[in-house]
Amino acid sequence: MVSSILPLKIEAVTVRRGGRQILGPIDWVLDGQGLTILMGPNGSGKTTFLRVMHGLERVGRGQIAWNAAAGDVRARQAFVFQTPIMMRRSVLDSIAYPLLLDGVARQKAMTEAEALAAQMGLGGLLNQPAQAISGGEKQKLALARALIRAPDVLFLDEPCANLDGRATKEIERILTEVRAGGTRIVMSTHDIGQARRLADDILFLHHGRLIETGPKAAFFEAPKTPEATAHLNGDLIP
């Protein structure tokens, strides 16, 4: 494999929107292996933070730096949006789309997309319009589309928010496999059980700041901040 696009160094990054600071300042380094879970209450800045890392948000002060020596870093990341963006194409064409952008031959792209779709349980929907399938199916499709390029880094924004237990389990199984395959994953979730099942380490955001970071065990067994403690207990945070 060519040199990794990691580490990603985030230094004193802030984001201002609508006249107020909605994120930061944040200092953090994304490196190594594994799956990081981003937690925090609604509006704490999870989506914004993920988008900042992926380069979708204009930042105010501070710096974000991928391992520039790795070349085109965006093409080696993938992002699953909180609200899946569905193209006006069939399910199969949607999954194959990133490969077509890379110049992969159409036939080959279709074959790969079909195999991946089958693996993700979308095999029966290949010719359906992507915009007409169910919410959960859209989530899976978005995940398949993100995985087809075998990214080095995968960002997911609440990928299981609309899914039933069975589908959630399926996605978790896939994510576990993807992580085992060496892809670095950062994902947000409100599902504490999911965080316990999947995470290697946890980031806890509150009012746009990373107030707690660390390995899963430490976070769940002995949270250091009252906000994290309250969040885990399901209490309202002041």
Partner 1 sequence: MNDILQGLSQAAQLVITGDADLVEITALSLQVSLGATVIASVIGLPLGAWLAVNRFRARRFVIALLNAFMGLPPVVVGLIVYVLFSRSGPFGVLGLLFTPTAMVIAQVIIITPIIASVAHQAIRELWADYHDLLISLNATRGQRIRTLLWDGRRALMTASLAGFGRAIGEVGAIMIVGGNIDHATRVLTTAIALETGKGEFGMALALGFVLIAVAVLVNLGVHFLSRTERGSRW
Ligand X SMILES: Nc1ncnc2c1ncn2[C@@H]1O[C@H](COP(=O)(O)OP(=O)(O)OP(=O)(O)O)[C@@H](O)[C@H]1O
Using CB under 8 A, list all residues that contact partner 1: 54, 56, 72, 74-75, 77-79, 81, 85, 87-90, 97-98, 101, 127, 129, 131-132
Stretch that binds ligand X, among 40-48, 63-71, 123-131, 137-145 (CB under 6 A): 40-48
Name the residue nearer to ligand X (CB basis): 67 or 82: 82
Using CB under 5 A, pick the residue from 36, 47, 94, 194 that binds Mg ion: 47
Residue 48 touches Mg ion, criterion: CB under 5 A: no
Burial class of residue 10, CB neighbours in 10 A (0-12, 13-18, 19+):
buried
Structure tokens at 123: 């095999």
Name the residue nearer to ligand X (CB basis): 43 or 226: 43
Residue 40 touches ligand X, criterion: CB under 6 A: yes
Total residues at the site for Mg ion (CB under 5 A)?
3
Say which entry of partner 1, Mg ion, ligand X, none residue 40 contacts (CB below 5 to 8 A, set by partner kind).
Answer: ligand X
Minimum separation from the CB atom of position 15 to ligand X (A): 8
Stretch that binds ligand X, among 16-24, 94-102, 104-112, 132-140 (CB under 6 A): 16-24
Say which entry of Mg ion, ligand X, partner 1, none residue 173 contacts (CB below 5 to 8 A, set by partner kind).
Answer: none
Stretch that binds Mg ion, among 49-57, 75-83, 86-94, 159-167 (CB under 5 A): 75-83
Residue 228 touches ligand X, criterion: CB under 6 A: no
